[in-house]
Amino acid sequence: MASVPAHARSAPDRLLAVLGAFDLEHPALSLTDISRRAGLSLSTAHRLVAALTEWGALERDDAGLYHVGLRLWELAALAPRGLALRQVALPYLEDLYEATHENVQLAVRDGPEVVYIEWLSGRSAVGVHIRVGARWPLHATGVGLALLAHSDADFQEGYCGGPLTAFTPYTVTDPAGLRRMLAEVRRTGVAVSSRQVTDDALSVAAPVRGPGGAVVAAVSVVVPQADAQIPVLAPAVRLAAWGISRGLGWRPEKGA
């Protein structure tokens, strides 16, 4: 957060700072924690937290800790790239899970990152560092590669030319190599990310299109790398992505 004095920040900025104090690593916070993480005085934090709690954006548990409230979930349900997309996609994600019994994921792009909005975990699936709301850089995941490959050319070039973080020895950090991967995604219709986040997992992803044909999300399945059968997985993932796209109103051009 920029080092702007609390008194110089607008009322909306201070409210957003309180909400921004919560994240995946900090889902429950005391008033003192909120004050510190939001960069606000304790009295200001107390006043804003009280207002947000009364409105339903925050909830206070029996231990005195605050959590994100259900009112925000109600609003999130109206977001076309959030719960509304999830509602359309869920039957197809469940079908993909039943076909594979592996981790199945749905994600959207937010700037240079993917945000996971649904995740079905397989009973005997490979472990993954993913949960709903988690973020990862685009280049390191199958869904991220599918989304990046179908973003506009200027964004792709800027991303490929920027720093590419490595998470394993297999993470693609070479700009030229990443450009080749993106071209292959566009050619085949699927993205394959092998051992880029963990050295035992492989993901196969496909893009999801909205009514006008633009890519709005990506779906993937994550399997153990050692016995991954990409020729079997790719058609199943493509079919799930196609079904979600149709559910969103996309209709392929004749002959496509």
Task: Please state, in angstroms and rounded to a whole number, the distance separating the CA atoms of residues 101 and 207.
Answer: 21
Bridge partners for 113 per DSSP? 110, 137
Q: Are 99 and 236 in contact (CB under 8 A)?
A: yes
Q: Which residues lie below 8 Å from residue 151, measured CB to CB, with a gap of 6+?
A: 109, 159, 215
Note whether 202 and 224 are within 8 A (CB). yes
Of residues 237, 175, 241, 161, the one with CA closest to residue 209: 241
What is the model's pLDDT at position 6?
A: 53
Comma-separated ranges of CATH 3.30.450.40 domains in the chain: 79-248
d(CA 87, CA 85): 5
pLDDT in tens, 76-117: 666 666 567 888 899 999 999 999 888 899 999 989 999 888
Q: Provide the CATH topology of domain 11-75.
A: Arc Repressor Mutant, subunit A (1.10.10)
Letter string b/e over residues 172-187, b meaning 16 or more CB atoms within 10 A of that residue's CB = beeeeebbebbeebee
Distance of alpha carbon 86 from alpha carbon 68, whole angstroms: 20
| 3-state class (DSSP) for residue 117 | strand
Residue 8: which pLDDT band, with cuts at 50, 70 and 90? low
- pLDDT recorded at residue 4: 54
| Domain 79-248 classification at class level | alpha beta
pLDDT tens readout for residues 40-87: 999 999 999 999 999 999 999 999 999 998 888 777 666 666 567 888
d(CA 104, CA 156): 26
Q: Return all residues near 212 (Cβ < 8 A) that are at least 6 apart.
A: 250
**The tokens of 227 are what?**
């016995």
Start-end of CATH 1.10.10.10 domains in the chain:
11-75
Confidence of residue 130 (pLDDT cuts 50, 70, 90): low
Rounded CA-CA distance 187/181 in Å is: 10
Could you give the residue ranges of the DSSP H alpha helices within the chain?
11-20, 31-38, 42-55, 70-76, 83-100, 142-149, 153-161, 175-188, 230-247
Among the residue ranges 13-27, 42-56, 166-180, the one predicted with the least confidence is 13-27
SS3 of residue 217 by DSSP:
strand
The whole-number average pLDDT for the span 172-183 is 94
Q: Residue 7: pLDDT above 60?
A: no
Q: List, in sequence order, every residue forming a beta bridge with 193; answer none if it has no partner.
A: 203
